[in-house]
Amino acid sequence: MGCKGVQMIEFPQNGDERGRLVVVEGCEDIPFAIKRIFYIYGSDSDVVRGQHANRASEFVLINVAGHSKVRVKDGKGNEAVFSLNRPHTGIYLPKMLWKDMYDFSNDSVLLCLASEHYDSKEYIRDYNEFVEIIKAQNDMEAIAIPEGGQGTRI
C-alpha cells in the first residue's frame, strides 16, 4: 500500500533548439515555499542515504542527472518505492515519513528542495523511535475522534 500524501510531480519542460529548461516555483509547482536546497552526488550504488524522518520538513526530490530510488515508510506498515530518473519529475514527501535513498547511478545528482531551514533536532534517525511517535500520534487521534463519533476537543 502507498503512503498518504506522497506523490510524483511532473514539471513542464520549456524546450527549444537550445535545450531544455525546467522551472520549479515554491507554492506554485510544489506545495510549499522553498527555504533550503541541497543536492547529493558521488554516492556509490551500494550506499543508502536518508534513513530518517523529519518532524517539520517537507521535501521534493528530483534526480536532475542520473537516477536513484527512494523508499518511503509511514510507520504504520505501508511503504512504497519510487524511481527518480527524469530531470523534469520530482517526488513530494510530506513530513513524518521515513525515507531511504539508494541505488544511485554514477552520474546521479539528487536535488532536494525543503520547506524548512536545517535543524538537526527535527530529524528522527532511529526507526523504532519514529514508529513509536507515529503510534502515539495515532492514539491521540483515536482519543480525539472516537470511532463513529463526533470529534472531541482535547
* Residue numbers annotated as active site: 52
Q: In 10 A of CB 97, how many CB atoms?
A: 21
Return the bridge partners of 1, or none: none
How far apart are alpha carbons 86 and 77 in whole angstroms? 28
Q: Does 119 bind ligand TYD (CB under 6 A)?
A: no
The binder of ligand TYD chosen from 49, 55, 76, 86 (CB under 6 A):
49
Q: In 10 A of CB 151, how many CB atoms?
A: 9
The binder of ligand TYD chosen from 3, 30, 50, 115 (CB under 6 A):
50
Structural contact between residues 30 and 93, judged by C-beta atoms closer than 8 angstroms? no
Min dist. Cβ of residue 118 to ligand TYD (A): 4
Segment holding 137, helix H or strand E: helix 127-144
The residue count for binding ligand TYD (CB under 6 A) is 7
The binder of ligand TYD chosen from 6, 30, 40, 53 (CB under 6 A):
40
Interacting residues toward ligand TYD by CB under 6 A: 36, 38, 40, 49-50, 52, 118
